[in-house]
Amino acid sequence: MSLAILADHDLTAANTLGLTCRAERLVGPANATELGEALLLAREAGWPILVLGGGSNLILPAFLPGLVIRPAMNDWWLEEVDNGSVRVHAEAGVVWHELVMALAARGLWGLENLALIPGRCGAAPIQNIGAYGVELAEHLEAVHLVHLDDGREAVLAPDDCAFGYRDSVFKHALAGRVAITRLVLRVSRTAEPRLGYGDLASRVAEAPAALEVAEAVCAVRREKLPDPAALGNAGSFFKNPAVSAARAEALREAYPDMPSFPLADGRVKLAAGWLIDRCGLKGWRDGAFGVHDRQALVLVHHGGGDAAGLLAFAARVAEAVQERFGVALEREPRLATE
């Protein structure tokens, strides 16, 4: 077996929250054959398996037993389709932001609003990543994966993925059961700017190029969000909650300036960051953790904390919102042990 397995490996730099974590064993398969070898080895030894991408939406414990698999399949390629469409094949280890910028630089439209989202392609469907009015699900054609228990390969169509707001089958029925190996995405050579979110339209020319839109999105994100390399964070820590129309109307009567967004199912989405801010928590810090001083939706790690401390801090933030607004907040980052 040709696999290089690292023992007692430090994963602190492998999660954007910067939580101290050590893996009992770590392997980085560079192709499907090596991934199959790693899965076979883990099955024969009875090791638990965790698949780790960029660690941008994951809360790691101090120690991960068994085998951590960090896919190092880093290729992507294009396939021309009729009517100006292009398929993008991206392996799990490809850095998402780098892919988005490369496509935008080629004048390919569809993913530019998802620029600067951290992480790797293999994790993108789990969260159904989205930003500035665009979700991954809109441009996904297929997810290639391997079942961890028997090495069986499968391909899921979008309808099989049960995509929702920051949600998918990979958080439920397939959670901890598969390794995503490749995405197939569809983009377009026809200009399709989506500029209705925030002040994007004012930041670009009247007929912008895809790269101009992507760079504008990057500028907005950098203004609002901390760089994980400088201050540990997992981006948005809470989902924007959805409430009934009646509940939203009652809240608007009490808080006329409250942002709200009607949903197709009749419910209304609220801005979790605004709710947290109105509780007076923006910039609040308690020990190792805090609420970011520019974007209340982001919880930050100042160093020296652990997963238990982060979850306790997050619970206090959620409790404050529940007390004041009667609205429950749901965590976005996944626990590695879930």
Residue 306: φ, ψ to 5°: -135, 180
Average pLDDT over residues 109-126: 97
Spatial CA neighbour of 53 closest among 99, 14, 88: 14
Average pLDDT over residues 293-308: 96
pLDDT of 1 higher than 60:
no
55-73 per-position pLDDT tens digit: 999 999 999 999 999 999 9
Place of tokens 């377009």: 188
Which is catalytic among the residues 236, 260, 278, 334? 236
pLDDT of 178 higher than 90:
yes
As a residue count, the chain comes to 338
pLDDT of 252 higher than 70:
yes
Fold topology of 226-335: 3.90.78
Distance CA 213, CA 207 (A): 10
Q: Quote helix, strand, coil % in the chain, to nearest 5.
A: 30, 25, 40
Is 2 marked active-site? no
Surface-to-core class of residue 285, CB atoms within 10 Å of its CB (0-12 exposed, 13-18 middle, 19+ buried)? middle
User: How far is Cα of residue 175 from the mean position of the Cα atoms in its chain?
Assistant: 15
Distance CA 322, CA 257 (A): 19
Confidence at residue 21, expressed as pLDDT on a 0 to 100 scale:
96
Place of tokens 């939203």: 248
Exposure class string for 135-168: b at 16+ Cβ within 10 A, else e: bbbbbbbbbbbbebeebeeeebebeebbbeebbb
Do the strands 130-131 and 67-69 form a parallel or antiparallel pair, or are they unpaired?
Answer: unpaired
Average pLDDT over residues 299-323: 97
266-290 per-position pLDDT tens digit: 999 999 999 999 999 999 999 999 9
Confidence category of residue 50, pLDDT binned at 50, 70, 90: very high
Which is catalytic among the residues 166, 182, 221, 334? 166
| Residue boundaries of the structural domains of the chain | 6-69, 76-223, 226-335
Which is catalytic among the residues 91, 112, 135, 332? 332
Asked whether the beta carbons of 59 and 307 are under 8 A apart, the reply is yes
Surface-to-core class of residue 197, CB atoms within 10 Å of its CB (0-12 exposed, 13-18 middle, 19+ buried)? middle
| Same topology between domain 6-69 and domain 226-335 | no
For the domain 76-223, what is the CATH code? 3.30.465.10
Asked whether the beta carbons of 264 and 282 are under 8 A apart, the reply is no
Fold topology of 6-69: 3.30.43
Exposure class string for 251-283: b at 16+ Cβ within 10 A, else e: beeeeeebebeeeeeebbbbbbbbbbbbbebbe
Spatial CA neighbour of 147 closest among 113, 110, 175, 115: 175
134-145 per-position pLDDT tens digit: 999 999 999 999
* Number of separate helices (H) and strands (E) present in the chain: 8, 21
Distance CA 143, CA 208 (A): 31
Grouping H, G, I as helix, E, B as strand and the rest as coil, residue 180 is strand
For residue 9, the cross-strand partners are 23
Is 332 marked active-site? yes
Q: Collect all residues with Cβ–Cβ distance below 8 Å to 230 and sequence separation of at least 6.
A: none
Is 194 marked active-site? no
205-228 per-position pLDDT tens digit: 999 999 999 999 999 999 989 999
Do the strands 67-69 and 76-80 form a parallel or antiparallel pair, or are they unpaired?
Answer: unpaired
